[in-house]
Structure formats: C-alpha cells, structure tokens
Amino acid sequence: MNRVPPAAEPVAGKPSRREQILAAAAELFARHGFHGVGIDDIGSAVGISGPALYRHFRSKDAMLGEMLTSISEVLLDGGQARVDAASGPEKTLGDLVRFHVDFALDNPALITVQERNLGNLTDPDRRKVRALQRRYVETWVEVIRAAVPAAGEPTARAAAHAVFGLINSTPHSRHLDRDQMADLLTGMAMAALVQLSDRVH
C-alpha cells in the first residue's frame, strides 16, 4: 500500500516525464513563441509523438500555466528566503540581485518564456501568475527602499522592473562565461540601484 502519488513529483531526483516535457516545451516556447509551437513539436522533442502528451497534461495551455506558475513560485520563495536571512539593507539587496542573476543564468529558457508569454495564459492562470509576480516585485521594492531610503515607492518599483530587464537580458547575449557574466550583471545592477540615492526624489 501507500504507492507513490500518480500525478505528483517523484520521490527522488529523477527528472520525471512531466518535468522533462516542461523543459523541452520551455525551450521551444522561448524560441518560437507559444503559438509558434505545435503539440507534435513538443512531443518529438522528448521522443514521443503528439497526442501522447495528453497522458501528462490536460492541455497545451496547462503546460504553459504550470511552467509559469512554478517559475513565479521559485522566484518568490527564493526572494523571501534571502530577505528572511537579513543581514543589513545593502547586503540583503546584494543577495537578492545575486539570486535573480543566478536564476536567470541557469534558466534562460524559462526567463524568456515568462517575459514573452504571459499574455498567452488562460485568465485564471494569468491571475495566479500575476499575483505571485506582484508579491515578488513587492519584496524587491521593500528591500530597495531599505537600502536606498531616498527613493520613493514609484521610483523603487520602476527601478526594480528596470533591473529585471537588465538581468533577464542574459539569454540574448552569451559572450562571457557563466561566472564572468554573473559578476558583470550583478555589478551593473548594484551600480544602477545605489545611484538612486544621488537623485532628487
């Protein structure tokens, strides 16, 4: 008795068909856009063909939904964890930046999909993802305002989005190796943020 749950994640680290499919789909969605990828494309990317995917997902929309929801959760949880391990305003901001940089560098396809394909979600999925994203942004806004007290809230919010754009640009340029890229992006992001204190408002 007590078998492994049929539709949940496996007990150990095995990639599990579902995750394998999601990874392949993410790559394809990132390259061609949601509507530019067919069911058969995703299937053959994991060695099975078309309709077999429906043994694992209810619909193509559900794949995108699960993909974006899980990204948003990972980001929010990781961000919260950095804040909870607080060690001083500026240090916390640095941790947050570094966390996002690492995630973007290690998951370029997911980052790209999240940036480009939010509009292709079903309404309920989009609501859920947007709620998670808003909480993540909120975390950033608070940390920025703690580290740069001169910044007003709208400024902090706009700055957070700008920094996301800076960091998330990484899938489009691969001229440095991973660690150099991480240092470069972190440095640029931090410089862009700390100078906020020099500006009026």
State in angstroms the smallest separation of the CB of 78 from its own copies.
20
The set of residues, in sequence order, having a beta carbon less than 8 Å from that of 188 and lying 6+ positions away, is: 166
In this chain, which stretch among 31-39, 82-90, 128-136, 189-197 interacts with DNA, using CB under 7 A? 31-39
Structure tokens at 196: 């906020």
Residue 108 touching DNA (CB under 7 A): no
Q: Are 30 and 114 in contact (CB under 8 A)?
A: no
State in angstroms the smallest separation of the CB of 183 from its own copies.
7
In this chain, which stretch among 45-53, 64-72, 73-81, 158-166 interacts with its own copies, using CB under 8 A? 158-166
Residue 1 touching DNA (CB under 7 A): yes
Dihedral sign (CA 81, 84, 86, 90): positive
Q: Are 82 and 96 in contact (CB under 8 A)?
A: yes
26 burial via Cβ count (<10 Å: 0-12, 13-18, 19+):
buried
Count of CB atoms within 10 A of residue 198's CB? Answer: 8
Window 57 to 116, contacts with its own copies (CB under 8 A):
115-116
Structure tokens at 132: 């998670």
19, 23, 61, 98: residue in contact with DNA (rule CB under 7 A):
61
31's contact among its own copies, DNA, none, with CB below 5 to 8 A by partner kind, is its own copies
- Count of residues binding its own copies (CB under 8 A)? 47
Residue 158 touching its own copies (CB under 8 A): yes
Residue 6 touching DNA (CB under 7 A): yes
Structure tokens at 186: 């972190």
Single-letter amino acid, residue 112: T
Q: Which residues bind its own copies (CB under 8 A)?
A: 31-36, 115-117, 119-120, 154-155, 157-159, 161-170, 172-173, 175-176, 180-181, 183-185, 187-189, 191-196, 198-199, 201
